[in-house]
Amino acid sequence: MGGDLGPRSVVPACIRFLRRFPLASLKLYGPPAQLQDLLNEFNFSPVADRLEVVPCEQVVTQQCNPVHALRRKRESSMACALQAVADGEADAVVTSGNTGALLALSRSILGTIEGVRRPALGKSLPAESGSCFLLDLGANIDCSAEDLVQFARMGIEAQRVHTGKREMKVALLNIGAEAHKGTEEIRRAAELFQADPGIGYFGFVEGHDIFTGVADVVVCDGLMGNVAMKSAEGVIRLMGQKAFTFERKGPIQRFFGQLAIKLLRKWRTQVEPARYNGASFLGVKGNVIKSHGGASSEAFYRAMITAKECAEADLATRLSRALAP
C-alpha cells in the first residue's frame, strides 16, 4: 500500500511474477475491496489459487513518523507482512513504503541478527564489468568505523548471493583515493578494514568508481550512499530523455541524432534504474526488500525478483553465520 503509486504498481507486478514463477505464491496485504478491484482489472484469475489477499485496513503513509508507525501502526499492511516473515508464513517481504517506518518495524518485529548494531540498506548496481554492491543507502546517516566494518561483512555476503563470486574487493567511498583524505572516522575505518582478514580491502574510491567495476562492494554511510545512488539515477534519466529529443532538432542534428539514437536507447534499457530496483535491509532476521517509493510496475516486479533471490539463498541465515563471533 506504500509508495507513490500504491497498489496500482504492485498488483500487476504480482500477477506477472506469479505467471513467470509457477511454484511461487504471494500474500497481498491491504484493504480487500481496493485490491480486489485492481486484481479483477488486471485479470488475476489464472493465478488466483496462488495469491491470497490478507485484509489490512491500516496503512503506513509516506509522511508517517517511524516512532508513530512503531507505536500506532502495528496492524498496518507493512507490519502484518513483516509478521508473516517472523512467523515463517513468508520467505520475504517487498514494499515501496516509508523507509524509516520499515526499518523501525523490521527491527521490532523481526529483530536484528546477533551482534548487528545497525541494519544497512544495500543493493547491487550495474558496473562496466559485472556489478557493485553499494551500502548503506540511507538507513544510517551517522556511522562509526565499526559500523562500516559490519556493513562490509554484510555487503560481501549479499554480493555473493547476487554474483556467485567468492573473492570480493571491498572499497570505502571517500572524497578522494589518497590515504590522507576524508574524515577521521573513515580513515579509522580504513585501518580496521586492512586489519580484518575477512575483508579484501581495495582502498578508497570516489563516486564515479562505483560504476567502473574496480570494487565488488563499496561501503559508506547512508547520506553518501543515498546521494550517490540518486544522483546516478538522475543522470541516467536525463540521458534517456536527451536520447528522445534529437528528433525535434534541426536537419543536421536530426541526421546525426538518428545514427546514435538506437544505441542510446539500447544503453538506456540496460542501465534503467527500474531494472535494478529493490534494496535489501541487511542485518534483520528476515529477507526484507525495499522498493523505490516511486516504483513503476516494472520496477516493483524487479524488486520481487531480488526478494526471490534472497529467499532462495536464505540470505538472512547466511548473514547470521557470517557475522557470528
Would you list the domain boundaries of the chain? 1-116+283-325
The whole-number pLDDT of residue 294 equals 87
Contact 293/226 with Cβ under 8 angstroms?
no
- Chain centre to alpha carbon of residue 290: 5
The whole-number pLDDT of residue 144 equals 95
Q: How far apart are CA 46 and CA 41, in angstroms?
A: 13
Tell me which residue has cell 523490521: 106
Question: Residue 198: what residue type?
Answer: G
Q: How far apart are CA 187 and CA 179, in angstroms?
A: 7
Secondary structure class of 274 (helix, strand, coil): helix
Q: How far apart are CA 101 and CA 95, in angstroms?
A: 11
Q: What is the pLDDT along the chain (325 residues), one digit of tens a residue?
A: 988 999 999 999 999 999 999 999 999 999 999 999 999 999 999 999 999 999 999 999 989 999 999 999 999 999 999 999 999 999 999 999 999 999 999 999 999 999 899 999 999 988 888 899 999 999 998 899 999 999 999 999 999 988 889 899 999 999 998 989 999 999 999 999 999 999 999 999 999 899 898 999 999 999 999 998 888 777 766 766 665 555 555 666 666 556 555 555 555 555 555 677 899 999 999 999 999 888 899 999 999 999 999 999 999 999 998 887 7
For the domain spanning 1-116+283-325, the CATH number is 3.40.718.10
Closest CA to 62 of 128, 4, 142: 4
Closest CA to 64 of 1, 145, 8: 1
Give the burial class of 154: count Cβ atoms within 10 A of its Cβ; 0-12 exposed, 13-18 middle, 19 or more buried.
buried
The whole-number pLDDT of residue 230 equals 82
The whole-number pLDDT of residue 277 equals 87
For residue 244 the three cell numbers come to 528522445
Question: What is this structure's pTM?
Answer: 0.87
Q: How far apart are CA 303 and CA 280, in angstroms?
A: 9
Q: How far apart are CA 114 and CA 228, in angstroms?
A: 30
The whole-number pLDDT of residue 252 equals 60
- H-type helices in 22-144, by residue range? 32-41, 66-72, 77-86, 99-109
CA distances in angstroms from 271 to 125, 127, 128, 308, listed in the order given: 9, 9, 11, 21
Contact 228/134 with Cβ under 8 angstroms?
yes
Closest CA to 35 of 61, 9, 3: 9
